[in-house]
Chains A and B, each alone.
Chain A
Amino acid sequence: MSSRGGKQKKGNVTSEQEEEEQPLQAVLVADSFNRRFFPISKDQPRALLPLGNVAMIDYTLEFLTSTGVQETFVFCCWMSNKIKDHLLKSKWCRPTSPNVVHIITSDLYRSLGDVLRDVDAKNLVRNDFILVYGDVVSNIDVSQALQEHRHRRKVDKNISVMTMVFKESSPGHKSRCEEDDVIVAMDSKSKRFSMGTDEFEIRHDLLDCHISICSPQVAELFTDNFDYQTRNDFVRGILVNEEILGNQIHLYVTQDGYGARVSNLQMYDSVSSDMVRRWVYPLTPEANFTDQQGQGCTHSRHNVYRGAEVSLGHGSQMEENVLIGRDTSIGANCHISNSVIGNNCTIGDNVVLDRAHMWNNVHISSNVEIHQSVVCDGAVVKEAVHLNKQCVLAYNVVIGPNLSLPDGTVVSMHHPEEEEEDDDDEFLSDDQEVGHSKDKTRQKAFNPAEVGPEGKGYIWKASMNDTEDEELAQCLWGLVLNPDPESDSESEASEESQDRTFQLEVLGTLQRGLEENIVCDNLVLEINSLKYAYNITLKEVMQILTRVVLEYPFQQQGTQLTTLQYTGSLLPLLKTWSPVFKNYIKRAQDHLDCLSAVEELFLEQDTHQTAMVKVLMKMYQLEILEEEAILKWFSTGATNDKSRQLRKNQGKQRMSLQRKESEEDESSEEGE
C-alpha cells in the first residue's frame, strides 16, 4: 500500500495493484437480529439509539470513514425508513462526504447470513471489505490489520478469508461483554486461529470488537452454506473444516484503541461512560463529528460537557463525567455525576443523578433520584420518584409521583402481551413491526401501583412463552454469570454418574425380565453388554447387581415396608434370579465382595437389619453363597463400628440358623 504511489509512476501497474486501487468497501449491518433492547427498540432501531447524544450508527460510520473506507453499504431491515431518514439528513449523504453510503433495505433479512448472501447475490463487493455492525463504537486504526490481511492473501493465495479485530483487555474489564466472553486459541507467530501445532496460545484477555476484514469469498461461503446464520457459525464452520477447505481465519490484536459493540444495556452503560471519559478519542462529545447544527458543546475539567443554552440552577453541581445536551435546564441543588443528559430536558430541584442516561425531551420533577438507569425520549418522571439501579423508562412513559421503582424495573408504553400477538410471524428481530394496536393498548388501564398515580406505562416483563434460549435475550442489562464452581473432582463426578446409570439400566433389565418372564441366561447377556457399554468392572457389576436386587422391593412398593413384607417379597425374587447371581459369583473373592455389598446395603437400611439373616440364609440355600465365604466374611474384621454392631446383632441368630441347616459342627465352631 505504501509503495503504491511510487510504483505507479514507474508504470509498473500489476493487476493486484489495480485491485488495491479500488476503493475500500465496508458492509455495515444496521440491524441486530435480536431483541436485546426490547422494549426500547420497539420504537427506535438500535442503530439510532443515542449514545452520548449521538446515534450509534454515526459512530460506526465515522470509524469506517476514518480508516479510509470509501464506499459503505448499510443494510437495514426493520425500521429501515427511520435509519434511511437519519442517514439522508446526516453528513454522510452530503456530496462532500468521502465515504459514499448506499442504503440497502429489505424486510427479508433475518440474520447476518442473509445480508451476506444478498451481498453475494448483488455482487456488491469486489475486494476485501470491512464487516461491522451498526452498534460498534471504535477508534481502532484497522489499516495495519488490513495491510496484514492483504499481505497474507498475497503470500498464500486466498487461504485467509477473514481477519478479526480483537482488543486486549483483561477479564473483568468493564467493556468486556459477559455474554461475549471469548477464549481464543491462536498461533502466536502466524496470528492464526489454531490448535494442534507444537505451540499455541490460549487467550482469555481478548475483546471481540466485532470488526472483521473479510475477503470477497466470505460472501460466497455464506451463499454456499445456508447453515451459516451468524458470524460465529461462520467462524466455527471455517475452523472445523479448515483441513478440508483450507480456509483460515486470522486475528489482529491491538493493544491501544477502543472497540466495543453495544450489545446490551450493560455495554451501553460502559461504552457511554467510556465515551464521556474520552477513551474513544477523537470521537468525543465536544468534537461534534456528525457536524450538525447545535450539537456542539464545551468541555471543561472533570469531563463536564455543556451544550448550548444549558441553564444550571443555584447550588447545582456537575461533579464529573457529565454530558448535558443543548437547551436543557437544571434546577437548584442538583447533584449530577457520571451521567448523560440529552437535549431539551428539564430537571427540577434537588435531583440526584448518578450513572443516569437521559435521552431527549425528558422531564424530571423535583426531589427525584436516579441511579444507573436509562430514561428514553419523552419520558416524564414526577416528583419524589426514586429509580434504583438498572431501571429502564422507555419512550413517553410517565412515572410517579412518590414512587420507588425496584432494581431492574422496565416500564414501557407497550403492553407486554402486545408482543405475544406480534410473535405469530416468528419474526425475531429487534426491529419488528409494531402492530398499530394503540386502541387496544389504551383500553388496558395503567396500574397505579406500578407506575404511580399519574403514571402511564406498563411494567415490561420477560414474556413467558419464550423458548429457553430466549431466556438470555430477555434480560436487557445482560447476564450476570456465576463463576464456575471450582471443584477438584470433576472426573469423579462423571464416574459416579456412570455407575448410577448402570444401576438404573440393570434395574430396568431385571424389571423387564420379571414382567416378560425372560430366561435368566438372556438377562445375563444383557447385563454383560451393559457392563461393556458403561465400562464397569466385574466386581462393580456384582456389587451393583446385589444392590439392585436387594433394593427391588423398596423400588416397587415404597420404603415404608415392614421387615416381614420386605423379606416376603425379596426371597422369591432371589430364587428367580439365582442363576444370574451364580453367573457372576464364582471365585472366593466374588463371594466376599457380594457379602460386603449386602452388608453395605443393610447398613443404610438400618430398620431392616434383621432381614439380613434371612437374605443370607436364602442365598446360602440357593447356593449363591458358599458357607465358607460367609464364615470367612463374618470372622474378618469389620471395617467400622457400625458394621461391627450389625454383625454382632446378626451373628448369633445367623449362627444358630446356620447350625441347624448345615449340620456341620466344626464349621460353626470356627465361626464362634
Chain B
Amino acid sequence: MATLTRISSAATAVRVVCPTLDHMVTQVRYRKTINTRSKKHISVIKAKLLAVTKWKAPQDTRMTMAERCGLREERMQETVVQENPLRDLMAKEARHVLETSGMVAVLHISDFSGPDRRVFCAKLKESDITVRFWSNSVAGLAVQDTPYSTLTTLMVGMNMYAHSLNPQVAPLLKVLKVTPQVSLLGGLVDGLLMSKADMEHYAQLPSMEQCHGEVVSVLSAGVSQTSQLLQNPLQQLSRNLQQISSSA
C-alpha cells in the first residue's frame, strides 16, 4: 500500500490517482524526471481485458483448387452403391450356382449372338453344361464375400459363365475349339481356381477310378512281391519232388 511521503517542494510533486485503491489513496511521484520511456508492467485486469477483446481473423472457408481437385478422386472412390433388389436377387442366384456346381468356367465373348450362340449352347447342353450370362456388377456381388473373390479380376468386359454339376472340362474345351468367337479365361473346378492352361492340363488327367486303380496297384505291388518271394522256395521244392517221383 502506498504511503504519503514528505513533499519537499510543491513544484516536483505530482499527484497520481491509484484506481485499485478506489481513489482513496494517491501515489505521489516526487523525483525530478518522471520516467515514461521504460515499459510499465500491465496490470492483471488490463491484461485480461486485452486478451478478451483481441481481434481474431474470420475463418476463410474457401477451398483451394488443389483441395477441390483432390476431393473429386475421394468422392469417386466413395461412391455409394444404390440399392437394387433385382441385382441382389440375381447375385443370390449366381452365388447359389457358384456354390452348388462342380465347374464354373468364365468365357470371354465378342459379339456372340443369334444362331451361333444357340448352336454353342445346344452343343454344351449335350454334356450337361449350362451357359448363363450375368453382368459384371452382379457377378462381382456374388463372388465378393466368398473364398473365390479373386475371380473379380476376370470380371471386366463381356463374360459368359458355363457351369455344370460335375466338372466337364474336356467336352467344354472340345466345343470351344470349334467356336473362335468365345475364348476361355479361367474358372473354378472342384473348388480350385484355375487358369486356361490349368484347365487344359486337368482335362488330360485320367478319370478318378483310373487313378484309384493305379494307386491300389502300386501299394499292392510290394505285398505281392514279398508273398511271391516267400512262396518261391516251396514251389521249387514241390516241382523238384514231382520230377524225382516221375523219374522214379
Our verdict on whether A and B bind, yes or no, reads no
Binding site for A on B (CB under 8 A): none
Binding site for B on A (CB under 8 A): none
